[in-house]
Amino acid sequence: MGGLPRRLVVGSLWLTALALLLCADAAAAAAEGTAGVVSVDARRAIASTDEDFVCATLDWWPPEKCDYGTCSWGHAGLLNLDLSNKILLNAVRAFSPLKLRLGGTLQDKVVYGAGDSGQPCKPFLKGNGSELFGFTQACLPQRRWDELNAFFQKSGATIVFGLNALNGRVRLPDGSMGGDWDISNAASFIRYTVSKGYKIHGWELGNELSGTGVGVRIGSGQYAKDVVALKSEVDKIYQGNASSSKPLVIAPGGFFDRGWFKDLLVKTKPNMLNAVTHHIYNLGPGVDTHLIEKILKPSVLDGMASTFRNLQGLLKSTGTSAVAWVGEAGGAYNSGHHLVTDAFVFSFWFLDQLGMSAKYDTKTYCRQTFIGGNYGMLNTSTFEPNPDYYSALLWHRLMGTKVLATKFSGTNKIRAYAHCTKRSPGITLLLINLGGNTTNHVSVTSEGAATKHGRKVRHVVGFAQGAGAMREEYHLTPKGGNIQSQVMVLNGKELATDAAGNIPRLEPVKVDAAQHIAVAPHSIVFAHIPHFHAPACS
C-alpha cells in the first residue's frame, strides 16, 4: 500500500482531531468537559532551580538483589552495566547534560581500588542473614572507574559520586556507628580521580545514615565532623588544580529528620557543606497493591510539601549557604513495582514531584534510577526508555530555572506548575490530569500589578495576544489509554528509539493561543506560551 506509513497517518489524524477540539468555542468546551483557570504570577520568581535540575541515579546493586521474590536489577549496577549500549549513550546525551548521582545503599560497603590497598578487588557477594544490607563488601576496580569516566566524558554527563561513609566505624552500644570516618581510601580515590583529569561535580558522603538510618545510623555531631574532614581533604587535593574546578561537598543522602539535619547544618555552617540531600520514598513499599490509588490521590501528593517546606525553612534559619537537593527519589522503596513505577502512571507522581520540589527552592532532583530496578527511566533489559524518561527530558528542555507562582481554579484532579521557559521567551505550563473521566478545558490568566493613583492594584488579565498568536503543546498519553502501559504517546505518536538507538524527536503541536488548553483524562500537557507577559523571565 502506497502513501504515508500508517503510524504517521494515525498521528496526523490525531493532531487534526486535537486542533478541531481546541478550536471549539468556550460554550462547547464547557459542555464537553470541565472548565478551569490557571493563574500565573510572572512578575517575579518565587524560587529557582539548577540549570540541570533533573538528575538521575546509577546504583551499585548486583543481579542477586531481589525484593518480594523478584530480581529486577539485572546487569544495571555500576560494576556490570553495559556501557557500550547505544541507547544508553544516546539517552544520556539527549539531556546535554544529564546530572548523574552514583550511589545507593551499597555505596557504604564499597572500597576503591586506587592502587594502594594491596587487596584483590572483589565483587559483591550475597551474604548470610547477619550481613549489613545483605551483601559483602566489594571493590571498585581502577579499570572500571576508568571505563565509567570514558562513558561519562563521551555522553557529557555531570557526575556526583557517593562515598563510603562507614569506612573505619565501630558499632556503639546504642546501635549507631561511631568513631571518626577513615578517609584514607576515599582520599586516595579522589587523588587518583584528579590525576586522571576526571571531572566530578560533587562528592557526597554516605547514604541513608541520617536520623534513625536505614539498617544503620551515625549521630549528627559525628557526621558533621566527617563532613568537615571531607571538605578539608577536597580543598587540599583540588588546590591549585587549574584543569578542574573544585567539586561540591554534599551530605547526608538520607531521609529528612529535622533535629538531625539542623544539628548537621549548624555544625557545618556557613560553607562547609554545599548541598544537603534528602531521599523520597513517600509511597511506601514496592509490594503495596494500592500504589496507583496513592499516585492518583491529590492528598497523598500534597503530603510531601511539608518536607520541602520544612527543609527550606531550616536552610534559611540556620545561616548555612548549603542548598536543598533531592538526592534519591524512587517513590516506592525496595526497587519499585513493575507496571507502576516503570509505567505511564508514574509520570503523574514524578512530574508532580519535580514541580512541587522546585516551588520550595530545591536545586536538583535525582530520580532513582536512570536504569535498574522497577523504577528505572530505561528498561533494565532492553534499555528502551520508559515513559518517565520522556517526561524528564521534556521537563529538562522546557522548564527553565525560574519558578512562577501558579494557582488552578477548578477540579482538584488538575496539578499545575509554571516556569520561565528554558532558553526561549515566555513561560511553560505543566498540567497533570489525575482524573480518568473528564477532559479539562483550561484557560490561562496572568496575575499582574497595575498602577492607579500612584498605588499598585492587583488584577487578573488575559494572556491571549492578537490574531495569529500561537503556543506549542506537548500532550502525553499512555498507549491504548492504559495508564500501566510502558509506552508513552506524544501528540498521538508512540515514542520509541530507532534501529540505531536514537532517541526520537519530541515535536509539539502548534495551537491558537486564544483557545483553551484541552487536558484529556489521565494525560499530561506541557504548554509553551511564548507571548505571555513575564517580567520575571526577562
- What positions carry a catalytic annotation? 208, 328
- The stretches in the chain having pLDDT less than 70 are 1-32, 114-119, 242-244, 448-467
Between strands 399-409 and 440-452, the pairing is unpaired
* pLDDT value of position 128: 84
Secondary structure of 355-392 in the HEC alphabet? HHHHHCCEEEEEECCCECHHHCCECCCCCCECHHHHHH
Euclidean distance between the first and final Cα of the chain, in Å? 52
Using alpha carbons, select from 61, 85, 75 the residue that is nearest to residue 155: 85
Q: C-alpha grid cell for residue 255?
A: 531521609
* pLDDT value of position 468: 78
Q: C-alpha grid cell for residue 242?
A: 587549574
Which residues are CB-contacts of 258 (< 8 A; sequence separation ≥ 6)? 310, 314
Instruction: Report d(CA 279, CA 368) in Å as an integer.
Output: 10
* pLDDT value of position 447: 83
Burial class (CB in 10 A: 0-12, 13-18, 19+), 89: middle
* pLDDT value of position 499: 97
* pLDDT value of position 115: 54
- Helix 387-398 and helix 346-359, axial crossing angle in degrees, nearest 10: 30
Domains of the chain: 47-405 (3.20.20.80)
Name the pTM for this structure.
0.92
Beta carbons within 10 angstroms of residue 368's beta carbon = 30
Instruction: Report d(CA 270, CA 323) in Å as an integer.
Output: 11
* pLDDT value of position 241: 75
* pLDDT value of position 21: 43
- DSSP-derived secondary structure letter, 45: -
Instruction: Report d(CA 95, CA 212) in Å as an integer.
Output: 36
